Structure 1
Amino acid sequence: MNRDEISLLAHADHPIAAPLDDDSVRRLLERAVPRGDERVLDLGCGSGQWLLHALAAHPRLRAEGVDLSEAALARAREHVKDLGVEDRVVLHRGDAAEFASPHPFDVVLSVGAAHAFGGLLPTLAAARKHLAPGGCVLIGDGFWHREPTPEAVEMLGDFGDLPTTVDRVVADGWTPVYGHVSTRAELDEYEWNWTGTLAAWALGHPEDPDAAQALAAAAAHRSEWLRDYRESWGFVSLVLRRTAD
């Protein structure tokens, strides 16, 4: 069982692969997609949940998503078909950092995928290449709200605190026009779902050759979360406009 398979199982009960609830997702998309007829790109779309939320809310919106995981894209295609929006969405398999498009986008999303680009600012650089004049970026990434342990930094990365994170974004030429800091309830809900859903699958499929690995992965993740980063890690989502186009 590879990381993609584990991730798909772990996110079955929390399809948004980030610590945000549905109300937070809705509010962020309302700010990022004000007209409803925008062309939207999701860099690192996974199973396409952000795009699906936007497409369901806006019948004139058109969307594209990019991801390396064929398993995640296959799940996204299933959801697209179930929603009946095949004519309004295109999914590309490939490296989101290298993706090229013949046309710009009104909105570029990348939430919880900064690791694929090498960090927050490289993610914004990638988004900028696709952004139409006057468009906006919706990005989400981690930060430290308390001094982390060395183990937490090694595990999750060398983030700044929230003011430093926003200052870096502003210094890079962006202006936040909306934002959301995930609550303790959202953070805990995400982690309990990740670990619990994966463990429940393993316990419900004891005959599966991957069950023991899945159960061990759930236990390891739960221990790391509770012991190493629950008290120090946070998540911020920002709707950004270029300070000067």
Structure 2
Amino acid sequence: MDLPRSITIRESSHRILNPFTSDKLATLGAAIGLRKGASVLDLCCGKGEMLATWSRDHGIAGTGVDISTVFLAAARERAAELGVADRVTFVHGNAATHVAAEPVDVAACVGATWIGQGVAGTVALLERSLRPGGMMLIGEPFWRAEPPSQEAVEACRVRSRDDHNTLPGLIELFHGLGYDVVEMVLADEDSWDRYRAAQWLNVRTWLDANPGDDELAPEFRAELATEPLRYVRYERPLVGWGVFALMKR
């Protein structure tokens, strides 16, 4: 049980595996009023940057769950580097079935709602680990503008226009699920650039070290030739992303 090697190569230099900068992650932690000793569950935690930095900055304790052994190794290294390895734990497992042994103060799935087959299913999954009165964090993309064609939709990494909501549509969805939206921090074009453009250098660096003698080389060579244009033409202007803090009504 692990992620494809291609994903870990693309994101090899990333600490945050979403279009979020460290400043935005810090803003989110401050905005939701984290208190010392609060418990946080992070499903699909990636390299654990959220848990590790929030533990350093706010004194939280937490558990991260992810399928990637590569990302979890990086998460444990980061926690040790920041001196919080005694407060945050990283578990290799299927986040889609993980429920905390004890209810937590904050339950999060930031950028991976496929684990619940969409937002509604992920909210239902996180509810199983959240204490009454706790806070839920959902990271999710949305349409910033209406895609002009099916070609544009597919260039934004989805098959249907309905695979993303609009920002107002997301707020309405959360409300319909019985939650108040109490905070949000949204990505901008710069944070998108830091996420996507950094992948191009990671791919090029890997290609330079593996000149045609690896099965991924042709795929990565083709990707590097097309990805920058696809991104600036379609994804950058059309897709937004944000983390939404929810509390049950």
The TM-score with structure 2 as length reference comes to 0.86
Instruction: Tell whether the 8 Å contact from 2:52 to 2:88 is kept in structure 1 after alignment.
Output: no
Gaps of 5+ in 2: none
Partner of 2:38: 38
Deviation at 1:210, TM superposition (A): 5.7
Partner of 1:92: 91
Partner of 1:167: 172
Equivalent residues, number: 241
1:34 to 1:80, Cα distance in 2 relative to 1, 3 A: closer
Deviation at 1:206, TM superposition (A): 3.6
Instruction: Give the whole-Å Cα distance in 1 for the aligned partners of 2:55 and 2:6.
Output: 27
Instruction: Give the whole-Å Cα distance in 2 for the aligned partners of 1:128 and 1:88.
Output: 23
Partner of 2:19: 19
Deviation at 1:79, TM superposition (A): 1.9
- Higher mean C-alpha displacement, 27-36 vs 163-172: 27-36
Instruction: Give the whole-Å Cα distance in 2 for the aligned partners of 1:127 and 1:219.
Output: 39
Deviation at 1:207, TM superposition (A): 7.6
1:215 to 1:75, Cα distance in 2 relative to 1, 3 A: farther
* 2:199 is equivalent to residue 200 of structure 1: no
Spell out, residue by residue over 1:21-75, the C-alpha distance to the aligned partner (whole angstroms, 9 max, x if none): 121110111133521210110011111111111112133x211011112222122
What is the alpha-carbon root mean square deviation over aligned residues? 2.3
- Higher mean C-alpha displacement, 79-88 vs 163-172: 79-88
The TM-score with structure 1 as length reference comes to 0.88
Instruction: Tell whether the 8 Å contact from 1:32 to 1:138 is kept in structure 2 after alignment.
Output: no
Instruction: Give the whole-Å Cα distance in 2 for the aligned partners of 1:55 and 1:151.
Output: 43
Instruction: Give the whole-Å Cα distance in 2 for the aligned partners of 1:118 and 1:207.
Output: 37
Partner of 1:176: 181
- Higher mean C-alpha displacement, 95-104 vs 187-196: 187-196
1:26 counterpart SS class: helix
Instruction: Tell whether the 8 Å contact from 2:3 to 2:67 is kept in structure 1 after alignment.
Output: no
Deviation at 1:132, TM superposition (A): 0.8
1:219 to 1:138, Cα distance in 2 relative to 1, 3 A: farther
Percent pairwise identity = 31
Gaps of 5+ in 1: none
